[in-house]
Chain A
Amino acid sequence: MKNTAKSIDSGRRGFLIAGAGMTAMLAWPPGRAGAADFPSGPIEVVTHAGLGGGTDTTARMLLIRTRRNLKVDAVVNPKTGGGGRVAMSYVKNRPADGHTVMAITPTHLFTMAQGRAPLGIDDIKGVVRSTDDPIVVMVRGDSPLRTMEDLVAAGKQTPIKWGTTQIGGVDHVAAATFGKEAGTQIAVVPFEGGGEIVTNLMGGNIQAAGLNVTEAKDQLERGDFRALVSLTEKRMRSLPDTPSAGEKGVNAFFSTVRGIVVLNDVPEERVQILEAAMLKAMKHKTYQGYLTGNGLDADSIAGAEVWDRQIRRMYADARRALLDLGMVKQ
């Protein structure tokens, strides 16, 4: 192979990084820290998903450069279970010193909105957003439903079979909210994951689905799927010909987002240190390459202000929709 030299070089770099990580782990300092010298110990990113999944991978990619920027080690600590509940109760019981951060997804916000989470939306604040992947309503390329209006009209006759992920999650609530706002009927068909939805939309077992562009980029490019409307306020840069829900006057905006939050009691200057280090890490070509490889672009990344506002709005939307659906536990 012609790039052997390069690969050996990168291999050696890898060993150096791994070596540095091990040294840092062995020389684990006690977690006491003054305000001035933050961070004084390793940063722990608490995730809610197992190894190798999207959340885990995104967190690991983010940490590659964050480690260097903060000059401390950073590790991913998966706390699986309960739709983020296990992760949240773990974080709740850690000191609010900024050394423990949590990688969240809409799952956490929806668990909070269902009133089942150990943390409330006011207990956390946003640090950075790492991916932003809006939900787009798609049908099969040869579907008679050519526009959003076709879909709405057809749904008024018989409910549209609409593929989602788990009940009470972001996909389900997006479908239900879209149905309500656009004035049509939707029969939700839940699947275990996005891949299954893609196959079943392709196989004609369902009529429509709310999918992320990353999940169906190839199918869109080849014309196997047609995007009818994106559940965003403005048109997406990656889908310039697809109308947005905002311009159609449908008040349903949902996105699969990932980002980092900390407990609300973490001092503001520490949040800023984390924000700066992580933003710098995500602008590096390692992370940008990861985004591009997944069909996302630099718009995914956002700082504390934008991200914090977004999670609060998403929480409020989720709460309202779940009340409408009768799915909020007392």
Chain B
Amino acid sequence: MRAPASPDSPPPAADRRLGGAARRLGGAAAEGGVLLALCAWLYWLSTRFDSVPAVLSQNVPPELFPRMLLLTIAGLSVVMVWQGRGIAAAPVPRVRRVLLVAAAAWIGCALFAMTGVVILVACCAALCALWGERRPASLALYALLYPAAVYVVFVLFLGLRFPDGVWR
């Protein structure tokens, strides 16, 4: 559990941006706000579902269940904010490497759709380097051998088909 913010500790980043009101509302206010906004947006989407054909109009309407869920989530979010009042948000650590790893992973996935197995070599090399491998030999060996092993097991042995790309 988070400890209540002591008055002399420096305010966390989120609080500093949001000002004193947020500090009184507590750290859960931002979480609750995001959830409420999400609920509102999805509720709006649920008003735009297609109409149900007349023969099935007696059935449980398709928007009923999602709306009940959204109202439940919204209600629970309010309870959560209430319970969390006066408790400051934990500082969110920001590490450059998380962003770099995420970027590498997303780019890898995007390229995987186009180039199949080749990108795995680049992905393994990039991620391995990001995690701090500095010996070029073991980096190259890993980046070549591991995707090759994956290819042999999944494609040749188990019959998995990689996405059709430029190089099929």
Contacts and interface: CB of A to CB of B under 8 A. Distances in A.
A interacts with B: yes
Interface of A: 22, 25, 28, 75, 77, 167, 176, 188, 325-327, 329
Interface stretch (B7-15, B52-60, B85-93, B103-111): B52-60
A22 B54 CA distance: 53
B161 A22 contact: no
Contact of A326 (B53, B155, B161): B53
B166 to A, nearest CB: 13
Given A75-B161, A188-B56, A325-B53, 14 more contacts: A22-B156, A25-B155, A25-B156, A28-B168, A75-B159, A77-B161, A167-B56, A176-B55, A325-B55, A326-B53, A326-B54, A326-B55, A327-B53, A329-B50
Contacts of B161: 75, 77
8 contacts: A25-B155, A25-B156, A28-B168, A75-B159, A75-B161, A167-B56, A325-B53, A329-B50
A88 to B, nearest CB: 16
A25 B154 CA distance: 13
A22 B153 CA distance: 12
A77 B160 CA distance: 9
Interface of B: 50, 53-56, 155-156, 159, 161, 168
A325 B57 CA distance: 11
The residue among A28, A167, A176 with the most chain B CB atoms within 10 A of its own CB is A167
A77 to B, nearest CB: 6
A112 to B, nearest CB: 18
Top-8 shortest CB links A-B: A326-B53, A327-B53, A22-B156, A326-B54, A325-B55, A325-B53, A77-B161, A75-B161
B149 to A, nearest CB: 16
Contacts of B50: 329
Contacts of A167: 56
Nearest to A22: B156
A21 to B, nearest CB: 8
B121 to A, nearest CB: 18
A323 B168 CA distance: 42
A25 B160 CA distance: 12
B27 to A, nearest CB: 40
Nearest to A189: B59
Nearest to A30: B168
Nearest to A176: B55
A87 to B, nearest CB: 13
Contacts of B53: 325-327
Residue in B50, B56, B156 with the greatest tally of chain A CB atoms within 10 Å = B56
Contacts of A188: 56
- Interface hub of A28, A188, A325, A326 (most chain B Cβ within 10 A): A326
A326 B159 CA distance: 43
Contacts of A22: 156
Contacts of A329: 50
A327 B57 CA distance: 12
Nearest to A327: B53
- Considering residues B53, B55, B156, B161, which has the most beta carbons from chain A within 10 angstroms of its beta carbon? B55
A326 B53 CA distance: 6
